[in-house]
Each structure stands twice: as C-alpha cells, then as structure tokens.
Amino acid sequence: AAAFDDSDAQAVAKHAANYGAAFKSGNFQKVLKARPPKMLDYIAGLYDMKRGEMIRDTAAQTKALMAEVTVHSVNFNTDALTSGDTALGAYAFVPTTTVMSAPGKGKKSLDSQTLVMEDGGKWYVVPIETAQIYDLVKQVYPEFNSVPLP
C-alpha cells in the first residue's frame, strides 16, 4: 500500500462528515451501509441473517432506541487523526466527540475514535466506541492486529 497522503486525508474527512450527517439526521440505514461489507457480513452471519436483513432490522432497532435522543453534534477532529496503511489500503483513526441529550438526562458528550478505512479501493467508516468493537474489526480484518487503538 502507498503511504497515507493528502488525497487519503481528503477522503477520510469526506467519509467521516457524511457518516456524521447520517447519524445526526437519524438515517441509520446509511450509517450501517457506511461500514465495510465484510464486517456487515460477519455480524449478519453471527445472527444467521443476510446483510440486507441485518441492516434493515438493526436500523429499525437503533431508530427506536434513539427516538427520544437528540444528537446535537458529531465532531471529527481530522487535524488530530492517526493514520497509516495496511495491506488493504490507507486508514485513519479520527478523534470524535458526539454530543447528545435525552429527556431527563441532560447533555452528554462521548469521546471516541472513528476508524475510516480503505478496503478494495473503497472507503468505509467504523465508530470505535469500545475496545470490543476494535477487537471485532481485528477479527474481520487481521491486517489491523498490529495497529494499536490510539
């Protein structure tokens, strides 16, 4: 793979922004379709489902769970990203801050990393809210086994 360059940085910023806009607007089908197909197929297989049916069902469940939640902002700090390359292509971990509120809960801020990665010449987005999610990424993509989570 070639070294992470300006065009990669632009792709990361674009895909992160599109993902954030979909999440903020509650378009959970688009949020899920931003994830790598190989990862979606793996998760669907765990539940003996097809990818499309898993996306549809998960999007509906997420929409129901988020019904009373207001997403105020999703900020991707692309100036502080950690980037590199695997055999799949370029990747970047983007520090992400999401601000949400729910009735009776007030505003909450969640700091996380968002993995924006290339696979097969296409870019995908995986929010990494927990170490377990990154473990799942490494199960599906062993190329990330030697890449530490920032």
- Is residue 95 within 8 A of residue 80, CB to CB? The reply is yes
Say which DSSP state 34 is in.
T
Per-residue pLDDT tens digits for 130-140: 999 999 999 99
What counts of helices (H) and strands (E) characterise the chain?
A: 5, 5
What is the structure's pLDDT at 3?
73
Strand partners, 122: 119
Among all chains, which residue has been given the structure tokens 């370029």?
A: 90
**pLDDT mean over 58-83:** 94
Q: What's the pLDDT at 40? A: 96
- What distance in Å separates the CA atoms of residue 93 and residue 28, rounded to the nearest whole number? 21
Overall pTM > 0.85 = yes
